[in-house]
Amino acid sequence: MTMKTDILNRLKYSLGKDAENASTYDWRIALSLVLRDQMVETWFRSTRETYAASPKRVYYLSMEFLIGRLIEDMIANLRMEDTVKTAIAELGQDYDTIVHDEPDAALGNGGLGRLAACFMDSLATLGIPAFGYGIRYEHGLFEQSFAQGQQVEKPETWLTQRHAWEFERPEARYRIGFGGHVEHRDGSARWHPGEVVMATAHDTPVVGWNGDWGNTLRLWSAEPSKDFDLESFNRGDYLAAGRSEALARTISRVLYPDDTTESGKELRLKQEYFFTAASIMDLLRRYLADHDDIRDLPDYVAIQLNDTHPAIAGPELVRILVDEHGLPMDEAIPLTRRCLAYTNHTLLPEALERWSEHLMGRTLPRHLEIIRAIEHAHQTEFPDSPRILDHGDVRMGELAFIMAHKVNGVSALHTELVKQTVFADLHRIHPDRIINQTNGITPRRWLYGCNPSLRHLITDAIGEGWVTDLEQLTALKDKRDDAAFIDAFMASKRENKVNLSNWIGQTMGVALDPDAMFDVQIKRIHEYKRQLMNLLETVALWNEMRDNPNADWTPRIKIFGGKAAPGYFVAKDIIRLINDVAQVINADPVTGDRLKIVYPPNYNVTMAERLIPAADLSEQISTAGKEASGTGNMKFALNGALTIGTLDGANVEIRDHVGTENFFLFGLTAQEVMERRTHHGYSRAAIEASPRLQRVLGQIAEGRFAPQDPSRYHGLVGMLYDHDYFLVTCDFDSYFDTQRRADMVYQTPENWAAMALVNTASMGWFSSDRTIKGYAHDIWGAKSVLSA
Ligand code: 26W
């Protein structure tokens, strides 16, 4: 059967449509189902082999999986691109239209969620038996639009359409309790939950490169435990009839859109326990199906906590071992610790979760008891250890640290800072528990998939081995003096820039000059990521261009993308200012096409796949010591963009790999930042020392970009004068000067091209395959079944 007939059959029998009446949606679902059929073979074989070999399994627990669209990834991993493109063309349909009809699965906020998705691709490609566990949110990260330049949030609706890739698993259904009380009798405890909801599994197969291995992403959705309340309904009390249903479904209704501030909301805690408890029950059922001694669990199960969000896994596993398997507490705790490991993704104090003992006690009474037991055991052994229970709060970072056998940071600098700051005391007590695992990205999506012109060029030059062994890219360094290759390399970049210009033209009506430098900053909006400093530099450049209109300026397109958490008003102000400034600068005849600002709304994974291949300059300008790693920085460099950045997160390691001469470094180091903060009035001093910055702040403060509301940004400018916590003022001049250095280099295309090529060639180490191999070896003790 050909692909073409397979698609037509699916159209007919699964969608009840014939080719004449099929919509793009129908064609897309039909194609997806055909591809899913292909994947199921690998998936079943992998599951069978796993049960046969009974190896150690990895369980990756994450509140977020920022997957994006799956159709192109599946086609690539199944090596079916040509087959599918031919079939779609023969069916008279447009491939690009069909694959872009799929909504993004936006089940995450940013870096943490996307990392989890890259890790799932690497685990499958490496053939390491693994499950990803998370929540099947009905609504993912909100949809962003702009009204008069201001962010507006609308509910995201990916599930209003059929989600072609998943299989509902009614047989994998678990009762999840909340509240109630704990009964203690003759030394044993029995939790009597006051409320119960059902967790039902929905499985998405995750097939790796070449379709050699398949793992499972199991997402839980919440349903009422008891049937529809017919009685209330018959009494005409329709609300009561639907109440328990609505309440239950609330738990998996929506993703919390905050990515740096913990909400402290009860529903968030219930979400965290809901998916963690369902996952623990599910992996124990699987283990006990093959093993009868629970004490061997750590030899067959490795559980990774993606930040503190699933940290309740520690008390939950201890609860089951003690209350259901009768193990003594002082055996259950160390046994649990041997199964668990914890990854820290942020140093921001406001992002470190702490739940009030009151709320924990009300929502999870038995778990609070067990947390007290864990605290007691740890304090007994290490009397001067920091406490989990502190000032009426349960500190989830300390709980995760104490219940994990390994804790890791996500870049070399971040891991050192974790040892020196947030967990300094615990590090002293457990000196070998904290290790580093620098983040990575999957080259399948972030080069092979999103940049076909560069993919072909590389494969023609060095073969296709790089897709699963990215360090092979180093061979491209030999092409540095190959003029034909360099031309082709830059032609690929220009082709991507033209494609992006067309897309921006169509979607935003702004014409971009593809020969201008495409300078891109795409990430969540946050003060520490300093989108504001980028904008201030843009206004300063605008001023200098207007002061010297005849000078030989390097034309620049400033591209911003990113969402602000709905409650983060400073970030929303920054978005508004960017849009207000864009309006003025983009309409300025003096600077004309030499300086443009574009801010496409609703930045997501699919937009990143459009923007990154077209970027010349990657903005990684966070205050040193604040960005744990960054992963966008890796994606840009891999796709031949040069980085302007601080010595923060993984920028440090990227610069080490690409060479200091191929990286535009500026700004204070993390050490200098801490030192500068001790200087009183450091921001005012910095502003007074920079006439260029003073001028820009003056323009913004006087309403130059909001003539109808001149005082609109008084707060923002005032903050820079008096509370510039992220040292925008102190790094501004160094940043501005480094941007001018980039201008100069861009004006010598051969130099720029050579530096860009070395960036691409030097990014092999930043593959998430390398990262996962590190976790498997240093933390999980898990092996690939493929290369056993
Ligand atoms: C409780 C609210 C909340 C939700 C998410 C707090 C913190 C988070 C995440 C940890 C934030 C996050 O995404 N951190 C990013 O993780 C990436 C993957 O490791 C890093 O590359 C980024 O530097 C880090 O900001």
Q: Ligand 1: does its nearest atom lie under 6 Å from the Cβ of 64?
A: no
Neighbouring residues of 187: CB distance < 8 A, sequence distance ≥ 6: none
Mean pLDDT of 274-284: 98
Out of 62, 63, 109, 112, mutate this one to test ligand 1's pocket (max ligand atoms within 8 Å of CB): namely 112
Distance 455 CA to ligand 1 centre (A): 30
DSSP structure class, residue 575: H
Out of 114, 141, 259, mutate this one to test ligand 1's pocket (max ligand atoms within 8 Å of CB): namely 259
739-755 residue pLDDT tens: 999 999 999 999 999 99
pLDDT over 70 at 599, yes or no = yes
Q: What is the DSSP string of 279-296?
A: HHHHHHHHHHHH-S-GGG
**Residue pair 471/764 in contact by the 8 Å Cβ criterion:** yes
The residues that bridge with 217 in the sheet, in sequence order, are 132, 204
CA dihedral for 45, 11, 155, 564, sign (positive or negative)? positive
- CA distances (Å), origin 674, targets 419, 615, 671, 679: 16, 32, 5, 10
382-430 residue pLDDT tens: 999 999 999 999 999 999 999 999 999 999 999 999 999 999 999 999 9
Out of 135, 346, 441, 654, mutate this one to test ligand 1's pocket (max ligand atoms within 8 Å of CB): namely 346
Q: Ligand 1: does its nearest atom lie under 6 Å from the Cβ of 439?
A: yes
Q: Ligand 1: does its nearest atom lie under 6 Å from the Cβ of 42?
A: no
Quick one: tokens of 566?
Answer: 């709905």
pLDDT value for 240: 81
Taking Cα atoms as reference points, which of 357, 393, 159 lies closest to residue 255? Answer: 159
Same topology for domains 54-69+104-439+772-780 and 494-766, yes or no? yes
The one catalytic residue in 631, 646, 760, 771 is 631
For 357, the 3-state DSSP assignment is: helix
322: buried, middle or exposed (CB in 10 Å: 19+, 13-18, 0-12)? buried
Neighbouring residues of 728: CB distance < 8 A, sequence distance ≥ 6: 530, 532, 533, 536, 720
Q: Ligand 1: does its nearest atom lie under 6 Å from the Cβ of 627?
A: yes
Q: Ligand 1: does its nearest atom lie under 6 Å from the Cβ of 260?
A: yes
Taking Cα atoms as reference points, which of 558, 552, 551 lies closest to residue 537? Answer: 558
Ligand 1 atom, smallest distance to 351 CA: 6
pLDDT value for 145: 98
Mean pLDDT of the chain: 97
Q: Output the CATH code of domain 494-766.
A: 3.40.50.2000
| Angle at 327 (CA atoms; ends 324, 331), nearest 5 degrees | 140
Q: Ligand 1: does its nearest atom lie under 6 Å from the Cβ of 410?
A: yes
The residues that bridge with 247 in the sheet, in sequence order, are none
**Residue pair 347/424 in contact by the 8 Å Cβ criterion:** no
Give the whole-number percent of the chain exceeding pLDDT 90.
95
pLDDT value for 231: 85
Q: What is the DSSP string of 535-561?
A: HHHHHHHHHHHHHSTTS-PPPEEEEEE
Q: Ligand 1: does its nearest atom lie under 6 Å from the Cβ of 651?
A: no
The whole-model pTM stands at 0.98
Q: What is the DSSP string of 428-473?
A: HHSTTTEEE----B-HIIIIIIT-HHHHHHHHHHH-SGGGT-GGGG
| Domain residue extents for the chain | 54-69+104-439+772-780, 494-766
pLDDT over 90 at 108, yes or no = yes
pLDDT value for 229: 78
Ligand 1 atom, smallest distance to 110 CA: 13
pLDDT value for 788: 56
DSSP structure class, residue 104: P
Ligand 1 atom, smallest distance to 307 CA: 10
CA distance linking residue 502 with residue 304, whole number of Å: 42
Q: What is the DSSP string of 649-696?
A: TTHHHHHHHH-GGGSEE-S--HHHHHHHTTSTTHHHHHHHT-HHHHHH
Distance 260 CA to ligand 1 centre (A): 7
Ligand 1 atom, smallest distance to 258 CA: 2
Give the whole-number percent of the chain exceeding pLDDT 70.
100
pLDDT over 80 at 1, yes or no = no
Write the residue with the smallest CA distance to atom 8 of ligand 1.
Answer: 259
Ligand 1 atom, smallest distance to 628 CA: 23
Distance 630 CA to ligand 1 centre (A): 9
Provide φ and ψ at 7, rounded to 5°: -65, -45
Q: Ligand 1: does its nearest atom lie under 6 Å from the Cβ of 437?
A: no
Distance 684 CA to ligand 1 centre (A): 31
Ligand 1 atom, smallest distance to 630 CA: 21
**Residue pair 575/149 in contact by the 8 Å Cβ criterion:** yes
The one catalytic residue in 635, 655, 657, 712 is 635
Strand pairing class (167-178; 195-207): antiparallel
pLDDT over 90 at 266, yes or no = yes
**Residue pair 418/406 in contact by the 8 Å Cβ criterion:** no
Q: Is 4 a catalytic residue?
A: no
280-337 residue pLDDT tens: 999 999 999 999 999 999 999 999 999 999 999 999 999 999 999 999 999 999 999 9
CATH class of residue range 54-69+104-439+772-780: alpha beta
Q: Is 17 a catalytic residue?
A: no
CA distance linking residue 694 with residue 774, whole number of Å: 48
Q: Is 777 a catalytic residue?
A: no
Taking Cα atoms as reference points, which of 363, 198, 388, 366 lies closest to residue 265? Answer: 363
